[in-house]
Amino acid sequence: MMTDEQATQAVWDLMGHAIEGRGEQAARLLAEIGADSDGPRMYGICCAIAEIGKATLRQLYPHMTWGPSGYMWAMQQLGPGSPADVWAARFLVAYADGDKANANALWSAATAASGDEHVDSICALVTTVAGLAITALRKKRGEA
């Protein structure tokens, strides 16, 4: 099994590939991470990916106030989405809101799904967070 440091680096590399449009490399690395990880490690990997998403949301919306008396995140699906896309958005929102109970429940639901559905959900989380990061980069460059 990867060390914690190796897993952390793998997540950064995974997200770098996804953000830079290197889908094959991202898919290969995600498969390696998945093959090397047990359930709790993969939950941690998903939380690390969601942490990147949370930081990106805060970068996109710096004027918002967060905390007990502040805002909560919500994401709206603008078109038909797959169950994996819905799961990814809900997991990211639960994590970003600090709703550990809901994040854990969503993780449990994903692990109870078929192998393909579970993998699709994790891939959708990577894609969702990468999309947010791309939007943030474009905004920073004045392109959005």
Cα–Cα distance between 21 and 16 in angstroms, integer?
Answer: 9
- Please report, for the chain, the start and end positions of each structural domain, with discontinuous segments joined by +: 4-140
Do 51 and 132 form a contact (C-beta atoms < 8 A)? no
- Give the pLDDT score at 21: 96
Cα–Cα distance between 107 and 110 in angstroms, integer?
Answer: 5
Confidence of residue 144 (pLDDT cuts 50, 70, 90): low
**Residue 53 corresponds to which tokens in the numbers above?**
């998403």
One-letter amino acid identity for 105? Answer: A
- Give the pLDDT score at 67: 58
Size of the chain, expressed as the number of residues it contains: 144
Q: Is residue 57 over pLDDT 80?
A: yes
Q: Is residue 141 over pLDDT 70?
A: yes
- The residue that leads in pLDDT, 29 or 75, is 29
For residue 63, give the DSSP letter.
T
Average pLDDT, the chain: 91
Cα–Cα distance between 123 and 76 in angstroms, integer?
Answer: 19
Q: Is residue 69 over pLDDT 80?
A: no
